[in-house]
Amino acid sequence: MPMTRIALRRGHPDSYRQTLMNQVYQAMRDTFDVPVGDLFVMLTEHDEAQFAFGRHFMDIARSDDLVMIQITANNTRTVETKKALYRRIVERLADSPGIRPEDVLINLVEVPKENWSFGNGVAQLA
């Protein structure tokens, strides 16, 4: 049940944004056992003044094409599975739409299953 937020600089065409969202979702399907239809992705674009980042933090050279991805998911996966997800996202985004691995920042936020309501005010997984 991941919920994904993607942030990037303004100026990319719809096809780029759609590919970005789809590739992240497919990477989760590939590695995180996300079922078909479990798709909850928000993409926001930001002007330069509202999109700040460390261009060389941890000795990684980031460009204006940086994409920040935050995934909120259940706290049920192993460290190996998480590493596989990070690798797969980078591979897919490098393939299409052509984002450099250095320009992909991923943050995984893990929560207990009871922290979700998928509608109707019900904690379906509690």
In a domain, 123, yes or no: no
CA 101 to chain centre: 13
**pLDDT tens-digit profile, the chain (126 residues):** 899 999 999 999 999 999 999 999 999 999 999 999 999 999 999 999 999 999 999 999 999 999 999 999 999 999 999 999 999 999 999 999 999 999 999 999 999 989 999 999 999 989
Mean pLDDT estimate for the chain: 96
Half-sphere exposure of 81 (CA within 13 A, CB side): 14
Model pLDDT, residue 61? 98
Q: Which domain holds residue 98?
A: 3-115
The total number of structural domains in the chain stands at: 1
35 is catalytic: no
Q: Residue 106's domain is classified under what CATH number? A: 3.30.429.10
Distances (CA, A) of 23 to 4, 10, 15, 27: 12, 19, 12, 6
Model pLDDT, residue 82? 98
In a domain, 106, yes or no: yes
Model pLDDT, residue 2? 95
In a domain, 82, yes or no: yes
Model pLDDT, residue 1? 80
Is residue 9 within 8 A of residue 48, CB to CB? The reply is yes
In a domain, 121, yes or no: no
Q: Alpha helices, DSSP H only, in the chain?
A: 14-31, 79-95
Model pLDDT, residue 110? 97
In a domain, 124, yes or no: no
In a domain, 125, yes or no: no
Q: List the catalytic residue out of 2, 13, 101, 112.
A: 2
In a domain, 9, yes or no: yes
